[in-house]
Amino acid sequence: MKMVLAIINYDDSQDVISSLMKAGFSITKLATTGGFLKAGNVTILIGLDESKLDECFDIIREHSSSRKQIMPATAELGMGFFPSTPVQVEVGGATVFVLNVERFEKL
């Protein structure tokens, strides 16, 4: 038994979740916030048999994509002056962890 912990950009999360559920995966959804961009993410937990890992990864990969976005950044120039300088960053996609599950029970 495995636990997939996937951190997905909020914009991609609905497609990923609905596709996983259509494929028969049971998920738990957690609202999370990224530390770097302070952007909204969704973390999903999926308990599954090891034989289903590839199918799960394929669905997440298909419905979460990386893209470039312009974000305001600040740079201090002294005297308390903080101009906003736009910076291009990569957002989206997914970060996925697979954990071994020693025991699983539905109570």
Q: How confident is the model at residue 71 (pLDDT cuts 50, 70, 90)?
A: low
* Rounded Cα distance, 92 and 96, in Å: 13
C-alpha torsion sign, points 74, 77, 81, 86: negative
Among the four given CATH numbers 3.30.300.30, 3.20.110.20, 3.40.50.300, 3.30.70.120, the one describing domain 2-100:
3.30.70.120
pLDDT above 70 covers a percentage of the chain that reads 73
pTM: 0.75
Which has more pLDDT, 64 or 99? 99
pLDDT digits 0-9 by tens, 37-48: 566 789 999 999
What's the pLDDT at 84?
Answer: 64
Query: Does 82 have pLDDT greater than 70?
Result: no
Which two three-digit tokens encode residue 25? 């995966």
Alpha-carbon 66 to chain mean position = 11
